[in-house]
Amino acid sequence: MRRAARVVPSGVWPPAERTDSITLIYDDRYRRRLRLLGDGGTDFLLDLPEPVVLRDGDGLALDDGGYVMVKAADETLIEIRAKDPALFVRLAWHLGNRHLPAQIEADRILIRDDHVIVDMLKGLGAEVRAVSAPFNPEGGAYGQHNHDHRHPHAHGSGGRHGHD
């Protein structure tokens, strides 16, 4: 079986050497070891030394040559907009305070749907709507990954999570 043991960032690997592509949602782009089937049928083993977030446009270097390009699949997300920059910053602060994976752009923030968060945002004056788009959340202050572990966590003294 073909093997990919190295991720080459978008813009660094030669696109002319693309063998195939693989389209994955965000949760499926946080991986270390997994058998994958490319969009064009390339069967290969992703075998990385540690888990990483695969970003849209990254190349997975195949051991026998060529690259499989990572493509971020469209997902159902919530788009958040604000009537002015001050509200936009305030909304971003509230989302960050809740440790939610968020994709922050110049004029919008994308998050996964959560009715409690959506209600909070509306109460703060946000404009929210469901959209279908690739999800590429920020990497976080303590490292490259900002994977949603989907569990509650308390912040004891020092504010450390224990899983950083």
For 113-161, what is each residue's pLDDT tens digit?
999 999 999 999 999 999 999 999 987 655 544 444 333 333 333 433 3
Q: Are 59 and 76 in contact (CB under 8 A)?
A: no
Task: Assign domain 75-134 one CATH number from 3.40.440.10, 3.40.50.720, 3.30.70.790, 3.40.50.150.
Answer: 3.30.70.790
11: left (phi over 0), alpha (psi -120 to 50) or beta: left
What span, in angstroms and rounded, lies between the C-alpha atoms of 69 and 17?
10
CATH fold for domain 2-72: HSP40/DNAj peptide-binding domain (2.60.260)
Task: Give the tens place of pLDDT for each residue, 1-58.
Answer: 999 999 999 999 998 999 999 999 999 999 999 999 999 999 999 999 999 999 999 9
**pLDDT value for 141:** 57
Cα three-residue angle 148-9-33, rounded to 5 degrees: 55
- Domain regions of the chain by residue span: 2-72, 75-134
Q: Most distant CA pair in the chain: distance in Å?
A: 55
What span, in angstroms and rounded, lies between the C-alpha atoms of 36 and 42?
8
Find the mean pLDDT for residues 88-105: 95
Sequence-distant (≥ 6) Cβ neighbours of residue 156 within 8 angstroms: none
